[in-house]
Structure formats: structure tokens, C-alpha cells
Amino acid sequence: MTQSGWRTLFANDSLPDTSHWPDCLSELKTAFCAIQSSQDLATLKGWQPELVSALQAIDIPAWRISQVVSDHNDWIYRFAIRESLDEMLQQGWGHPPCDFCVLTLGSGARHESLLGPDQDNAMILQDYPQDRHVEIDTWFQSLAERFTDKLHHAGIPLCKGHVMARWPLWRKPLKEWCEQMRLWSGRRTVKLVQLSNILLDFAPVYGNAVLAEQFRQYLIELMPSAGLFLDEMNALQDETRVALDRFDRLVGDDQEAPHQHAINLKRQGLLPLQAALRLFSLRKGIAQQDCRGRLLALKSMGLLSASKAESLEEALSLLLALLLESQMKAVELNRTPDGWVDRRELSESRLVQLKMALIEIRSLQKQAATA
């Protein structure tokens, strides 16, 4: 499949040359000129609303914008890691003692990020002799602490749940990662499933991507037979219900709601869709990480009808559009972007579309439970 030209914007270490861009991309060109003129690490993430605004101005759909935002986050990751490696070399740490691969997790790995995500990352190390553990792990702990601090300074905050490669749980050799998932998937334990839900959507962002693909292949073979583990993952779907009551009326869960008209469409729309597709895909040994890729794979395997897959793809597009619009308004008001959407700001047609999208997602949850 040919990659979209938009996905090449942040494919290289340097930002694209905009000098030959046509006039129809003038706003996007202006946005890139602004970031290219800045040398401050702290401005990298804060530039994204300007990027989003420029892409919206030329009618790029929200799902594609979320991919480009994710690509930019990956670019920031690579920037921070390269700087950290250079610092370590200059300070006498030398070159990496073995191959490694830094992973992004969750929405970043699925390339479905919007504005305001924190860090979720991990690191796979090449297998090494146990008698070199202290030496090698100390080296990579220093690297991880450096680049996660730099990401924080660049505007991608440290994860409050400590899901970062600077912590041993999220940094280990390939063999230990495989053994960890073999043990975790052999038990029906809520906490282990919750941790796995974070880990199981991953993508290489820097280093030897072969390590990530070897781990992925192991998981593809392991997970379909992890019945009890997947049953618990299914049970956790009850905690990620869509924003509908039993009469199919739109309703928020009122958890920390800023006002009575607020619905957290990330928690009560996007996350249920992502979780159901993850569960369905793990049951069937599907390798794709992103929602659209998983829908295409499920359709091609005959597990979802073409019309069902299309409806769910439209649901994903709608949720991303509503969330992105709400987040951009928050930025304009100097508020932190979040997952809340105000029902009063949605037209009648949007409200109907949202209701139908959530019904489709709820149906998918049921189908994934019995797949």
C-alpha cells in the first residue's frame, strides 16, 4: 500500500523543505517556517496546534491529522533520543553496549494521538549475558532517564503511572519481555491485564526495529491461546462503556465532569472502540496496531462485514473529529486539551451521528466478547 504524502512530513531527521510547496499550502508552509526558525526544545510540542490549524484549513480529515500529530511526536522522540545519545558519548559513556529499540505505546503507537498526550514508552534490549546486567542496564537506564526528561521539557509530560523506559518494568531484554508476557497472559489478574493493555499496542520509534517485530511475532502466536487472560480483558470492557444509557440516550458518566453537559468522548467513545478492536485482534492473531488497520484486517478475514467495518471506521473518524475540534477550542481559551466534549456545541445532525457511532461501538464490544 502506498504511503500517504502527509505521512512523510516527519519521516526524516530534518524538517521538510517548504520552498517549493504550492500556494494552496501557504498556511501549512507558514506553520513549518515558524517551527524551523525555533531552536528551543520546549517549543516543539507547543507548535502542534498551529500545525493542526493549518491542516484543518486545507480540509485534511481528523483521522489523518491524528496520524500526522503522532508522526510529529515520533519526530520529537527521535530528536530527544539522538540528543541523549550525543550527550552520553561526550560525557564518556561510549556507544550503546548492545542493540536496543525504543517503543511508543498506546495511542502514539496506533498513530491516533491528538493534543496533550503524556509519555507511554518502553525499551527492548538485545539479549545479553546475565553477568553484564549491571553494566548494560545502567547504561540504558541513563539513556532512558535523559530522553524522557527531554520529552517532558519538549511538552510531552512524564507519565504519572510510570509507564516509561526509565523504569525497569518497561526496560528489559527481548527474552525477558517474552517471558514476562508468557507469565502475565497465563493468569486472570486485573492489574496484569491493565498493564498489558498499555503494552500490547506498541510501535518502534528509534533503534533496531527487528527487536520489536520479533516481540510482536511472539505475541501474535501467544495471545490467541491465552483464554483466561483474554476473558479478563473482555470483563474490563464493562468499565469502558460508551456514553449511552439503556434507552440509547447520550449521557456522560459524570466522573470529574466540568459541567452537566460534558461527555468524555475519549473515555466513553474512543477507548471502548480501541479496547474492543484490540481484544478482537488478539483473539484472531492480527498484527495491525491501529484501529483502521485492525478493521481492514477483520474485514478481510470475514470477521466483520464490509458495512460494519465501514460504520466503525466512520465512528472512529467522527470521534477523532469531535475531540480534535474540542481540544483546539481549549487551546484557544488557554486550557489544557482533554477528552471532554460539550453536547451543547454539537448540531442536531452531529448528535445523531454520535449516537449511531456509539451504538456501533457497543455492538462491536459484544462481538469481540464472543469472537
pLDDT tens profile 97-148: 999 999 999 999 999 999 988 899 999 999 999 999 999 999 999 999 999 9
Distance CA 116, CA 126 (A): 32
User: Which residue in 220, 309, 315 sits closest to 271, CA to CA?
Assistant: 315
Summarize the chain as % helix, strand, coil (round to 5): 60, 10, 30
Neighbour tally for 303: CB within 10 Å: 18
Instruction: Say if residue 176's pLDDT is above 60.
Output: yes
Instruction: Say if residue 246's pLDDT is above 80.
Output: yes
φ and ψ at residue 208, rounded to 5 degrees: -85, 100
CB 217 within 8 A of CB 177: no
User: Which residue in 285, 317, 306 sits closest to 295, CA to CA?
Assistant: 306
CB 251 within 8 A of CB 243: yes
* CATH number for the segment(s) 240-371: 1.20.120
In the structure, what pLDDT confidence band is assigned to residue 41 with cuts at 50, 70 and 90?
confident
User: Can you give the pLDDT at residue 203?
Assistant: 97
Name the CA dihedral angle for 285, 291, 292, 296, rounded to a multiple of 10 degrees: 20
Distance CA 198, CA 120 (A): 8
Average confidence (pLDDT) over 326-355: 94
In terms of DSSP bridges, do strands 100-105 and 121-125 run parallel, antiparallel, or are they unpaired? Answer: antiparallel
Instruction: Say if residue 227's pLDDT is above 80.
Output: yes
In the structure, what pLDDT confidence band is assigned to residue 303 with cuts at 50, 70 and 90?
very high
Instruction: Say if residue 1's pLDDT is above 70.
Output: no
Average confidence (pLDDT) over 341-345: 93
Sheet holding 202-207, edge to edge: 171-173, 121-125, 100-105, 202-207
Neighbour tally for 93: CB within 10 Å: 15
Tell me how far CA of residue 9 lies from CA of 160, 181, 205, 251, 296, in angstroms.
30, 35, 15, 39, 25
CB 201 within 8 A of CB 289: yes
Range of weakest confidence among 157-161, 176-180, 211-215: 157-161
